[in-house]
Structure 1
Amino acid sequence: MGRRVAYWRQRRGMSQQVFADRIGKSKSWVDKIERGVRRLDKYSVITELAEALSIDAGQLLGREPRRRPGLGGCLDQVEVESIRQSLERYERLGRFLEAAPIESTPIPELRGSVNYCWLAFEKGHYPVVARSLIQLLRDTPVAEDRPVGGSSADAAELMTQVYQIASTVLRKLGEAQLAWLAADRAISAANRGNDPLLAGIATTRVANALRALGRHQAALDLNVQVAHGLISEFGGENSTPAQISVYGALLLQGAMAAALAGDGTTSGDLLDSASRAANILGRDANYYYTSFGPTNVMVHRAAAFVELGEGGDALAVHDRIPPAALADLVAERRAHHHLDMTRACVQVGDMERASRHLVTADRHAPAEVRCRPVAIELIDQILHRTKGEPAQDLRRLAEEVGALN
């Protein structure tokens, strides 16, 4: 139980001293509880600790709540609310808001923190991402206003990346409005920097948030217009690999928007254009965290078929993806693809294969399954449509996310 106290205290961003002050105990008492030197044997004390940590007492006792848990890899509502509050703060207006001045973090240090946040995101470690975001959403605006070790433009380029990560994670969690707000901030910050490719990638975040809000045509138009503008500016096929990657990422997201709008022809055309761009690269890369290349084009082609309701075609594309190439993609992307293939299997009525894809997704990046509403819904569908007992691995997963009645 002491380890659980320490885990949740750290997730809430509290030191032992701050936590001790909140519950009216000494730092030494908290330290002994967390190390197991002192036992927690009074339920009244356990509930007091849980209240201070903004969790249910059952979570300290080892009983996770049903459905949207803090299952070791999910953001809970307290963390989402902390990100919301970070998005709503305006540290640069501190002199007008009578807020205490915040010391500016050196830009090289911020750059390291942003890179760490990207790495955590690509591995699907969303609580780590949340803690990083909350701090970075506070620090990057201050750094742009009072840059140390770099320029304001450098800080703005870091800020757009922070907003982009926030937008993507929030969209995955079903927080579409917050995702749109973060993406819109990303565009503004990108335009204050000196790197037009960051503005291109920020465009995909805005378009993805629009898709989550049901604005499929607006998302399609935005992606395609910016893609064509970028490639015209950079010189077509003579562009650098990074430029081609951003151009290709815009095309892929445009293809997904078209598929969601039910326009299979436009989706296919955009995927073909993205495939030609990927062939110029000749390999999968990760410029600007795009994971763009021939494999990711195939992954998106399969996903587009799923959105069009063509599960059989989606699975046929999946079967043509070389396993080694798929394994080279980042964990978040692999897990996302297996979730899409789970949907494809459900569409064609193959619950056994759907179970395998879902369990594979959980193995690659558990948060992609345990935190996303779409994944919980898929578990429900598979359980209800499976004849007889579900596969043991799926049953275990369903129990862990609270999907078994």
Structure 2
Amino acid sequence: MADQGTTIGDNIKALRNMRKMSRPRLAEAISISESYLKKIENGERSVTSTIATRIAQTLKVGVDRIYGQPYYNGAEADEGVQAVIPDLRRVLWTYDSPEDLSRPPRPFDVLVSEMETISQLRQDGKYVQLAPLLPSLITELTHVALAAPAGEVQEQAYWYLARGYRAANSLAHKLGHPDLSMTAIERVRWAASRSGDPYMDVVAGYLLLGALMRQGLWTAANKLMVELEVQIRSIAAGRFNDESRAMLGSIVLKRLAADARQGRLENVLRATEEAEEIAAASNGRDVLAYETTFGPSNIRIHEVHALLNIGDAKTALRTAGGFIPPTDLPGERRSHHYIDLAAAQLAVGDRDASLNSLLEARRIAPAHTRFHPTVRATAATLVRLDRAQREAVTGFARWASVS
């Protein structure tokens, strides 16, 4: 758990000392210069997810320890969203034997309507509004699913329950609880297998893939990507439509991100081309399928993110150009682009642009921005480098709970 004012650099230094590893030795192990690592530890340089993962693996800790998650400082004092974690853990642990309800579940159509609301809140990164609704809704849907006779109604209940567990995964991951996030993914797989929808099984695999990538488990992640692509092609059976192409394209974008974090630039370029070909078959439109958007906009966002993680901030910025994510793209995706943009702008020394991008990310999705480790790293570096201590910089840092 991070204390207010503790930076990622502080965390790395403390963990390195705990492991009795010198700075030169750690720098060599993760293939960066000692001077660059020193700047990271001193808060003069931000940290890409690639470097954070390498450091975590070398120091034999979870990536959440590098980021200092979960955060219980200023942001939590204002938002209170972490308070839902005990209830969420309880419903995930009692998935097949839920606690008794004080009254019967609400009508199924009411539960469906609330799940649609939660799904939209998840996509827009509105965790504060989402969190208090989720445990009770999952519990009610669980009772419905377990009590319904085998058939369409039961499958529908499990289908919506899988979406509820997906929201739980997002919430746990964003709030910095990786073990709870993995439990939620296992629950998605459990419910998906009972939903009668083979694409929901793909969704479960997609979420697992993201978890593997966050921990840098590349052998397992690369194997799963291949399996998921084969699975999608088998389900489509040669009759692809916008939805199935979006599912396939989303896996290709995961491959693009994985290759970037492994430093495989040529593979990144090939994956980008493949994703563009898939999007072109849907007339170059952004398509929302199973709560995941695929199309030209998300390809651009992933390409910028990939170049940033490879360490080529200048090319990432050239690729971004004047791109503005369309307003019909989910808020979390749009804010993520500006978070990446801010990190890239800071890397090339454009601090004013970096701050403006952070402010835009906050405008689009405040909670997503406030709890994002990259935002905290970027804001902390901006504060360290801003000798004039301008209120615009320190004010954002206070809001993000890093100063």
Residue 280 of structure 1 aligns with which residue? Answer: 281
2:260 is equivalent to residue 256 of structure 1: no
* 1:367 counterpart letter in structure 2: A
CA distance in 2, matches of 1:164, 1:227: 20
CA contact 1:346–1:354 (8 Å) conserved in 2: yes
Deviation of 1:254 after TM superposition, in Å, equals 2.3
Residue 156 of structure 1 aligns with which residue? Answer: 158
TM (norm. structure 2) is 0.75
CA distance in 2, matches of 1:264, 1:175: 31
CA contact 2:128–2:367 (8 Å) conserved in 1: no
Residues 186-265 of structure 1 aligned to structure 2 (within 5 Å): 186-236=188-238, 238-265=239-266
Deviation of 1:278 after TM superposition, in Å, equals 1.1
Residue 24 of structure 1 aligns with which residue? Answer: none
Evaluate the alpha carbon distance shift between residue 117 and residue 380 of structure 1 in structure 2; reply closer, same or farther with a 3 A threshold. Answer: same
Evaluate the alpha carbon distance shift between residue 271 and residue 191 of structure 1 in structure 2; reply closer, same or farther with a 3 A threshold. Answer: farther
Deviations 1:172-231 (A, max 9, x none): 222212111111221221121122222222222111112223323322331232023212
Residue 144 of structure 2 aligns with which residue? Answer: 143
CA distance in 2, matches of 1:134, 1:353: 40
Partner-residue secondary structure (3-state), 2:195: coil
Residue 402 of structure 1 aligns with which residue? Answer: 401
2:78 is equivalent to residue 71 of structure 1: yes
* 1:82 counterpart letter in structure 2: D
Evaluate the alpha carbon distance shift between residue 340 and residue 113 of structure 1 in structure 2; reply closer, same or farther with a 3 A threshold. Answer: same
Residues 31-70 of structure 1 aligned to structure 2 (within 5 Å): 66-70=73-77
Partner-residue secondary structure (3-state), 2:76: coil
Deviation of 1:257 after TM superposition, in Å, equals 2.1
Partner-residue secondary structure (3-state), 1:192: coil
Deviations 1:47-73 (A, max 9, x none): xxxxxxxxxxxxxxxxxx84442434x
2:292 is equivalent to residue 308 of structure 1: no
Deviation of 1:105 after TM superposition, in Å, equals 4.2
Residue 385 of structure 1 aligns with which residue? Answer: 385
CA distance in 1, matches of 2:353, 2:180: 34
> What are the ranges of 5 or more consecutive residues in structure 2 without an aligned counterpart?
1-71
Evaluate the alpha carbon distance shift between residue 223 and residue 136 of structure 1 in structure 2; reply closer, same or farther with a 3 A threshold. Answer: farther
2:93 is equivalent to residue 88 of structure 1: yes
CA distance in 1, matches of 2:77, 2:276: 39
Evaluate the alpha carbon distance shift between residue 66 and residue 228 of structure 1 in structure 2; reply closer, same or farther with a 3 A threshold. Answer: same
* 2:97 counterpart letter in structure 1: L
Deviation of 1:364 after TM superposition, in Å, equals 0.6
> What are the ranges of 5 or more consecutive residues in structure 1 without an aligned counterpart?
1-64
> Which stretch shifts more, 164-173 or 239-248?
164-173
* 1:249 counterpart letter in structure 2: S
> Which stretch shifts more, 214-223 or 273-282?
214-223
CA contact 2:75–2:399 (8 Å) conserved in 1: no
> Which stretch shifts more, 380-389 or 183-192?
380-389
Deviations 1:258-305 (A, max 9, x none): 222333333332222121111111211222221211111111111111
Deviations 1:82-136 (A, max 9, x none): 212221124x436xx9x57873444322211110101212232212211122112
TM (norm. structure 1) is 0.75
CA distance in 2, matches of 1:150, 1:112: 18
Residues 10-21 of structure 1 aligned to structure 2 (within 5 Å): none
* 1:372 counterpart letter in structure 2: H
* 1:354 counterpart letter in structure 2: S
Partner-residue secondary structure (3-state), 1:286: strand
CA distance in 2, matches of 1:71, 1:379: 18
Evaluate the alpha carbon distance shift between residue 341 and residue 313 of structure 1 in structure 2; reply closer, same or farther with a 3 A threshold. Answer: same
* Number of residue pairs the alignment of both structures matches: 330
RMSD after superposition? 2.4
Percent of aligned pairs with the same amino acid? 23
CA distance in 2, matches of 1:271, 1:195: 29
CA distance in 2, matches of 1:350, 1:216: 33
Residue 272 of structure 2 aligns with which residue? Answer: 271
Residues 362-381 of structure 1 aligned to structure 2 (within 5 Å): 362-381=362-381
Partner-residue secondary structure (3-state), 2:254: helix
* 2:89 counterpart letter in structure 1: R
CA contact 2:255–2:271 (8 Å) conserved in 1: yes
CA contact 1:295–1:326 (8 Å) conserved in 2: yes
Residue 16 of structure 1 aligns with which residue? Answer: none
Residue 339 of structure 1 aligns with which residue? Answer: 339
CA distance in 1, matches of 2:191, 2:318: 41
Partner-residue secondary structure (3-state), 1:151: helix
CA contact 1:285–1:292 (8 Å) conserved in 2: yes
CA contact 2:379–2:400 (8 Å) conserved in 1: no
In the TM superposition, structure 1's runs of 4+ consecutive aligned residues that sit over 4 Å from their partners are 99-102
Deviation of 1:356 after TM superposition, in Å, equals 1.2
